[in-house]
């Protein structure tokens, strides 16, 4: 999967200027870079993006998150709080297709880098603006992180068990969702510009909105039926059997046998073909009504067997089932290997660096992880010199004044 296709990468020739920091904006830039866009990441001189320090580190002090979130990008340093830095940013953006930013609304306008200013010189510009609450509305000026967007978007309320406070998902879900919708908006706007002869436009993504988009039928459940969906632990109410079941080894497997035909195969696999004819379990509705009882009987069967024995029985019967994968499982799994889901890229400091590969998979013009996250300002001379035409003396003067 990491081998390029016969033609150019699908976003080759698209220039993206990435501003902002941390996760929501940078993950959007990563997705675009994965498919061949030239992503020039602007970072403040000195420390750069805080993502350079976030996450677990190796003993040598190198973060293991930065090489992924900044993969395939070019890094330049630029002080956007100074007029000279703002002017250089305008020059860069005048030749760009997309700007990605995740500052608080109004910040770019304060620097003279708002969409109205930039699109006057570059009418085809697409600007992806990711923020906590979007660019409009009464909350737009409030600080908003991904965790707050997950709360406002509703996913925190339905995550976990009803007898304890709602937990967070173990990843930065809200930021990543907003970034993914931002990347979708970018390519949609580019398609409109190129195929329809349209102008550029703003892609406005609030983190809470990206979470809300995944919330299934929770809105009409309340508005039309008066029901507020809550936390239900490892199950979906009235969908059975679909749960996490214990094994003899003390770990768990997930089994999904809630469709009628699948449940028939499942019942035979566990040695109880009569369950498929039992009025308590014969239909989807009946199994939902007797969910707790049915899950108890299934648990009694699984906890007498190892996880491998349970999964083998399910595979032979054609019943969806799986183990709870850890990173160790992912690295060692043959299906992961066959699909090249984990790719190893050479990092100049760490060496061989395994990471998740590009998604989705395009058969003709696939994405590719070409390099890991760059060092701070690694591409200053290339971008400011070759692209903007600043000579070495000019670049040195900008460094001395703290502009780059």
For residue 388, give Cα distances in angstroms to 311, 377, 383, 384, 385: 59, 15, 6, 5, 6
Main-chain dihedrals φ then ψ at residue 363, nearest 5 degrees: -80, -30
**Residue 278 appears among annotated catalytic residues:** no
The candidate with the shortest Cα–Cα distance to 75, out of 65, 66, 63, is 66
**Biggest distance spanned by C-alpha atoms of the chain:** 84
345 CB-near residues (< 8 Å, 6+ apart): 67, 71, 352, 353, 355, 369, 370, 371, 372
378 CB-near residues (< 8 Å, 6+ apart): 74, 75
Measured distance CA(258)–CA(260) in Å, rounded: 6
The candidate with the shortest Cα–Cα distance to 30, out of 68, 63, 76, is 68
Catalytic residue, chosen from 49, 175, 204, 347, is 175
User: Pairing state of beta strands 202-206 and 126-131?
Assistant: parallel
The candidate with the shortest Cα–Cα distance to 96, out of 111, 76, 79, 81, is 76
Task: Supply the residues annotated as catalytic.
Answer: 175
């Amino acid at each position: 999967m990491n081998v390029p296709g016969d033609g150019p990468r699908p976003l080759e020739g698209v220039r993206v200027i990435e501003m902002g920091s941390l996760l929501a904006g940078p993950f959007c830039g990563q997705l675009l870079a994965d498919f061949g866009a030239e992503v020039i990441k602007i970072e403040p001189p000195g420390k750069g993006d805080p993502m350079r320090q976030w996450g677990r580190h190796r003993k040598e002090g190198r973060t293991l998150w930065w090489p992924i979130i900044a993969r395939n990008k070019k890094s330049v340093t630029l002080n956007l709080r100074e007029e000279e830095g703002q002017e250089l940013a305008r020059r860069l953006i005048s030749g760009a297709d997309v700007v990605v930013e995740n500052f608080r609304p109004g910040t770019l306008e304060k620097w003279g880098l708002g969409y109205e200013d930039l699109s006057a010189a570059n009418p085809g510009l697409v600007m992806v603006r990711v923020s906590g609450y979007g660019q409009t509305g009464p909350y737009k000026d409030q600080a908003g992180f991904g965790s707050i967007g997950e709360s406002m978007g509703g996913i925190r309320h339905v995550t976990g068990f009803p007898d304890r406070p709602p937990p967070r998902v173990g990843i930065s879900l809200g930021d990543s969702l907003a970034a993914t919708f931002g990347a979708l908006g970018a390519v949609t706007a580019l398609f409109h510009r190129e195929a329809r002869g349209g102008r550029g436009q703003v892609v406005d993504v609030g983190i809470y909105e990206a979470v809300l988009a995944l919330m299934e039928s929770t809105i009409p459940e309340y508005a039309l039926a008066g029901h507020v969906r809550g936390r239900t632990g490892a199950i979906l109410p009235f969908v059975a059997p679909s749960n996490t079941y214990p094994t003899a080894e003390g770990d768990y497997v997930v089994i999904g046998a809630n469709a009628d035909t699948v449940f028939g195969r499942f019942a035979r696999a566990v040695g109880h073909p009569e369950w498929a004819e039992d009025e308590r379990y014969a239909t989807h509705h009946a199994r939902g009504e007797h969910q707790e009882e049915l899950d108890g009987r299934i648990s009694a069967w699984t906890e007498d067997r190892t996880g491998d024995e349970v999964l083998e029985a399910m595979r032979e019967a054609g019943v969806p089932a799986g183990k709870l994968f850890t990173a160790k499982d992912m690295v060692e799994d043959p299906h992961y290997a066959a699909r090249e889901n984990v790719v190893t890229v050479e990092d100049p400091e760490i060496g061989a660096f395994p990471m998740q590969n590009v998604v989705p998979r395009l058969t003709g013009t696939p994405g590719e992880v070409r390099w890991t996250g760059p060092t701070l300002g690694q591409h200053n001379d290339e971008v400011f010199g070759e692209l903007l035409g600043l000579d070495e003396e000019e670049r040195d003067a900008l460094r001395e004044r703290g502009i780059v």
